Structure 1
Amino acid sequence: MTSTAVPNPARTTPVRRHWWWHYEVPTLLLAAALYVAWAALLWWHAALPGWALFVAGGFLAQLHSSLQHESIHAMRHLPRWLRHAVVWPPLNLWLPYPFYNRGHSSHHVNYHLTHPERDNESAYHSAPAWAAYGPAWRCIYMANQTIAFRVVLGPFLRLWKLVSFETGQVLSGNFSRLPTWGWHALSVAPVLYCVTAVCGMGLGEYLLYFVYPGMMLGSLRTFTEHRWADTPHERVAIVESNLVFGLLYLFNNLHHVHHRAPTMPWYEIPVYFRKHRAAVLEANGNFYYRGYGEIVRRHLFRPVFTPVHPAW
């Protein structure tokens, strides 16, 4: 059986007979619950131990990122302004939603998956770029292929790359991205006002208990979603995790299904996967992990792959 043997998701997803499925009300309710939980956690943060804030804050921050991802692909029966507005508040502070929207959309060009210059989410580097790096950067990028580095220090590497890219754009005379940063700053202001002035949490605490662990959880999800393979469908993983991580990532851990049907709502993905599990795993070359625990055990200190792209 080849990848073409996997049933067409458009013909096998549940028929949405009710308006609350048609307009993806489960996603809207989840978004509402997220913002209520975020506000409650901030309001009562002083009553919680640091470890609980770190876990709960990181979970909510990553869940918001997952909802932003959902708004890019699904919620198609809602007006664009509404599905963007639902996830617009920058709870994670650091990445403007329009940049994420545009950049992630280019990631879904199947032929370019893992291409170090055309896929902006690729963890690979081209051979010429690798040859141009100094020994220190080669060591850093090799270490970034381990869970220990990617989850703990990867967020700082990601922020450094973002700052370097944006600074380079300005220094080269490209000011086209500055208006987006301006709107982002205006959007961040009420979030920080709520955090600091209303709820009394310091900015440093918010970065430690929400932003950083949220980025850590995001780094765990993306750690081995993609690898190089001759066919695009074999480049996309399946991580069959539990309900907690499934909800956290809105079942984007079943990543091959998402790439086959990007507009499929998050709550339909596990239904489709359970029904067509064998065909999906055969189609993606059995690029499969039984949960994130297996990934951590296998790649805590051992690189998942050499970061020089084998084809480009």
Structure 2
Amino acid sequence: MRSTIVSAPQPSIEWPTLAIMLGTYAVFCLGTTAAYALSPALAIAMTAIAIAQYSSLQHEVLHGHPFRTQWLNEALVFPALSLTIPYGRFRDTHLAHHFDPNLTDPYDDPESNFLDPEVWARLPNWRKRLFVANNSLLGRMLIGPLLGNALWLRNEAHLVLNGAGAARRDWLLHLGGLIILALWLYFAQMPVWAYLLAAYLGHSLLKIRTFLEHRAHERSRARTVIIEDRGPLSLLFLNNNFHAVHHCHPQAPWYLLPSLYAKQRAQFQKRNDDYVYRSYLQIFRLYFLRVKDPVPHPLMPYGPEAQDQRQVKQTQGVSA
């Protein structure tokens, strides 16, 4: 499914993205300095929003925006505002995630929230309860940043300690971004504890976006959601709520996604088998306190006949 809008030549500078980038840095700088003297709570909220927006901008950058020169794009998001996710690792894992036939696979999709049913069966009850709680929207926002980062950092440590050269390089570069952030905070008014809280809240906001982006479905094209929202969260996530459109046109800049969807609305909804929500408000109403998906992947082969395939994936990927 392709659109003539995306095939048209793109400008050498995408000014809407650059404007959002400048605005995000401005909010971040204000939140960590003058705003903190006025109201610590306001400053923490502003900084959290800036961190979440910054992650959305990193997503735009890894897809080739706002300039045609990629090293210049990546220089724009070098500071490590989100603390725990090196840009290079985000780039590589997210681009791997874009291989749609692997979407939601616990081993082959780096962004899957499902577990292998056999792994799930071996977990102690307290861990099962934790993962189940994480599958409501409230749980994803409250404990999701802690659980997600714990699993992410464990897997990254495994890669770094076992000689993965690309991972080591990206973490070294991330250290440089952390030094820039540390120097800024040294001279800024916001204390470290407040910044850590803001970073946690920023990750919590991002969990709203990723909560139901993908579902288990036999057809890969029907695994990706569309949320017809044009409100503040849509802007915060740079229209990534039109996620099925983004997966069809990963090189399209964020500001074209709504028009791409509007021009082919019926086709997109048919393509993703009506995995559609009207707004984030609808999602909050449905799933704030209710678990949406099971933790073990409901379509993954289970039992002795799948053992050989599972062992191959465990040696190639990172165990859940």
TM-score (norm 2): 0.87
Q: In structure 1, how many angstroms separate the alpha carbons of the residues matched to 2:222 and 2:232?
A: 26
Shift of 1:138: 1.3
Partner of 1:247: 235
Q: Is the 8 A contact 1:251 1:270 kept in 2?
A: yes
Q: In structure 1, how many angstroms separate the alpha carbons of the residues matched to 2:164 and 2:228?
A: 43
Q: In structure 1, how many angstroms separate the alpha carbons of the residues matched to 2:285 and 2:178?
A: 37
Q: Find out whether 1:265 has 2:258 as its counterpart.
A: no
- Cα deviation 1:105-127 (Å, max 9, x = unaligned): 10000100111110010111111
Partner of 1:303: 291
Q: In structure 2, how many angstroms separate the alpha carbons of the residues matched to 1:217 and 1:27?
A: 20
Task: Point out where structure 2 has 5 or more consecutive residues left out of the alignment.
Answer: 301-320
What secondary structure, in the 3-state scheme, does the structure 1 residue paired with 2:247 have?
helix
Partner of 2:195: 206
* Aligned 1:149-228 pairs, distance under 5 A: 149-169=139-159, 173-174=162-163, 176=165, 177-195=167-185, 197-209=186-198, 211-228=199-216
Q: In structure 1, how many angstroms separate the alpha carbons of the residues matched to 2:196 and 2:44?
A: 10
Which stretch of the first structure deviates more once superposed, 280-289 or 24-33? 24-33
Q: In structure 1, how many angstroms separate the alpha carbons of the residues matched to 2:23 and 2:283?
A: 30
Q: In structure 2, how many angstroms separate the alpha carbons of the residues matched to 1:48 and 1:300?
A: 32
Q: In structure 1, how many angstroms separate the alpha carbons of the residues matched to 2:292 and 2:16?
A: 36
Considering Cα pairs closer than 8 Å and 6+ residues apart, tell me whether 1 or 2 has the greater RCO: 1
Sequence identity of aligned pairs in percent? 29
1:12 alignment partner, one of 5, 27, 34: 5
Q: In structure 1, how many angstroms separate the alpha carbons of the residues matched to 2:151 and 2:65?
A: 31
Q: In structure 1, how many angstroms separate the alpha carbons of the residues matched to 2:51 and 2:262?
A: 28
Q: Find out whether 1:147 has 2:137 as its counterpart.
A: yes
Q: Is the 8 A contact 1:74 1:262 kept in 2?
A: no
State the one-letter code of the partner of 1:223.
F
Q: In structure 1, how many angstroms separate the alpha carbons of the residues matched to 2:130 and 2:23?
A: 39
Q: In structure 2, how many angstroms separate the alpha carbons of the residues matched to 1:42 and 1:235?
A: 39
Q: Is the 8 A contact 1:246 1:253 kept in 2?
A: yes
Q: In structure 1, how many angstroms separate the alpha carbons of the residues matched to 2:93 and 2:159?
A: 16
Q: Find out whether 1:286 has 2:274 as its counterpart.
A: yes
Q: Is the 8 A contact 2:136 2:291 kept in 1?
A: yes
Q: In structure 2, how many angstroms separate the alpha carbons of the residues matched to 1:74 and 1:290?
A: 29
Judged with a 3 Å threshold, the aligned counterparts in structure 2 of structure 1 residues 103 and 175 are, in CA distance, closer, same or farther, namely: closer
Q: In structure 2, how many angstroms separate the alpha carbons of the residues matched to 1:305 and 1:46?
A: 39
- Cα deviation 1:31-64 (Å, max 9, x = unaligned): 1222122112222133343442343222111110
* Aligned 1:67-78 pairs, distance under 5 A: 67-75=57-65, 78=68
- Cα deviation 1:129-161 (Å, max 9, x = unaligned): 112211111111111110111101110001211
Q: Is the 8 A contact 1:74 1:264 kept in 2?
A: no
- Cα deviation 1:263-311 (Å, max 9, x = unaligned): 0000111111122222211221111112112111111221111121122
State the one-letter code of the partner of 1:260.
C
Q: Find out whether 1:233 has 2:221 as its counterpart.
A: yes
Q: Find out whether 1:134 has 2:121 as its counterpart.
A: no
Q: Is the 8 A contact 2:60 2:66 kept in 1?
A: no
What secondary structure, in the 3-state scheme, does the structure 1 residue paired with 2:254 have?
coil
Shift of 1:164: 1.9
1:97 alignment partner, one of 76, 80, 87: 87
Number of residues of Structure 1 aligned to a counterpart in Structure 2? 299
Shift of 1:15: 4.5
Which stretch of the first structure deviates more once superposed, 28-37 or 72-81? 72-81
Q: In structure 1, how many angstroms separate the alpha carbons of the residues matched to 2:36 and 2:13?
A: 38
